Structure 1
Amino acid sequence: MTRIIAGELGGRRVAVPPKGTRPTTDRVREAVFSRLEHAGALRGARVLDLFAGSGALAFEALSRGAADAVLVEAAATAARVAQSNVAELRLQARARVVKERVLPFLTRSQERWDLVLLDPPYDIARADLAGVLEALAPRVAPDGTVVLEWAARAGDAPWPTGLTATGAKAYGETAVHYAEATRAPGERTGSVDA
């Protein structure tokens, strides 16, 4: 079990799969979400949680004011646990679990997200992660934020064109990398004129 740290669901328990996942520690989650709150990246955000596992990262975002979340997880057991957590937390109207591999999901998706959380297996090949990030870049809304949790020993994140590194911090064996979507020349932000 892990707990949601803060917000409307603070203190609620989240079940984790019995094996095959590596839940983000409370210390790392607290640091990540404090930074995201300070940057104003959570309130009303559309969230994409890739390699979602139990969904704890998405649930923390929803608890702290994100509008909705899509959780993508390929492992059947982990996807079932995430779906069970959605029901237990009564988030069916705000959270959707997709049992699919991340790259095919990104390739077929036409949606855009304000905040993307990635927690891939630490042993993912650098080229495979680079391919995921390449497919992700056009799916991030202008000025959107991407957070990647990866092995500290892996070095810098392989950010593609369209995502610009904004920082990184190591927590023991874990490193958290941050990037923002780069707005294309002439691309506007904000609401569409009526």
Structure 2
Amino acid sequence: MRIIGGQFRGKQLSPGKKFTARPTTDFARESLFNILRNRIDFEEVVFLDLFGGTGAISYEMASHGCRDITIVEKDNKHYGFIRSSIDELKISRLVSAIRGDVFRFISSSRRKYDLIFADPPYELDNISEIPEKIFARELLSEDGILIVEHGKNTDYSTHPNFSELRKYGSVHFSFFEIKTEV
């Protein structure tokens, strides 16, 4: 896995061959960060990475200057890799890694985030509930963005907070924002 931009651009992190998490492809990650560059100030964003997996998106955020990152990952092996990568990149002052269930984290968190990225397993039974739970708990700041990575079989287009879909090969990003009544 390679960091594609910012301060750590080109840095390789290797989770090993037996690692089961699927990192977001370089192409999709680069495309996503091209979009984000035009929408957010990385240095000012409070970022939440749900289903952290390898932590690739969080390392990109840190590499682009984000100074407040929370990663939630349930799997012990994945969490261990995230912790070791945080140490290797020397970003422990920027990143808080939590080993735990994402849905429990959502239901207990009281913090607001400017950018939330969720990359659940594509075949997760309750993948469709992620946006609803985040909006119900009001975890997104007023001008915040929620991005859910998913496969082609998931469709969020009817969600009231859905704003757009971007497709990069087999990787789909659904964007959500708080909609204000007019």
Calculate the TM-score normalised by the size of structure 1: 0.85
Q: Partner of 2:133 in structure 1?
A: 135
Given the alignment of the two structures, is residue 169 of structure 1 paired with residue 166 of structure 2, yes or no?
yes
Show the counterpart of 2:176: 179
Q: How many pairs were matched up?
A: 179
Please give the alpha-carbon distance, in whole angstroms, between the structure 2 residues aligned to 1:105 and 1:46: 16
The structure-2 alpha-carbon separation of the partners of 1:154 and 1:134, relative to structure 1 and needing over 3 Å to count, comes to: closer
Q: Which residue of 2 aligns with 1:104?
A: 104
C-alpha distance in 2 between matches for 1:176 and 1:130:
13
Partner residue, 1:3: 2
Partner of 2:56: 56
Q: How far off is 1:176 after superposition?
A: 1.1
Unmatched segments (≥5 aa) in structure 1:
186-194
Tell me how far 1:184 sits from its aligned partner.
7.8
User: Residue type matched to 1:78 in 2?
Assistant: H
- 2:78 maps to a residue whose letter is A
Structure 2 gaps, min length 5 = none
Q: Find the aligned partners of 1:79 and 1:32 in 2 and give their Cα distance.
A: 23
CA distance in 1, matches of 2:41, 2:13: 23
Return the letter of the residue paired with 2:162.
A
- The residue type paired with residue 175 of structure 1 is H
Contact 2:119-2:150 at 8 Å conserved across structures = yes
**CA apart distance, 1:9:** 1.5
Q: Percent identity?
A: 26
Match of 1:189?
none
Q: Are the equivalent residues in 1 in contact too, given 2:67–2:94 (CA < 8 A)?
A: yes
Deviation at 1:6, TM superposition (A): 0.9
**Two-structure CA RMSD over aligned residues (Å):** 1.8
Distance of 2:72 and 2:86 partners within structure 1: 13
Matches within 5 A, 1:151-166: 151-156=151-156, 159=159, 164-166=161-163
Check the 8 A contact 2:67/2:95 in 1, yes or no. Answer: no
2:128–2:154 Cα contact (<8 Å) kept: no
Matches within 5 A, 1:36-51: 36-51=36-51
> Do the aligned partners of 1:142 and 1:183 also contact (CA within 8 Å) in 2?
no
Deviations 1:78-109 (A, max 9, x none): 00000111000001100011010100011111
Deviation, 1:169, is 1.7
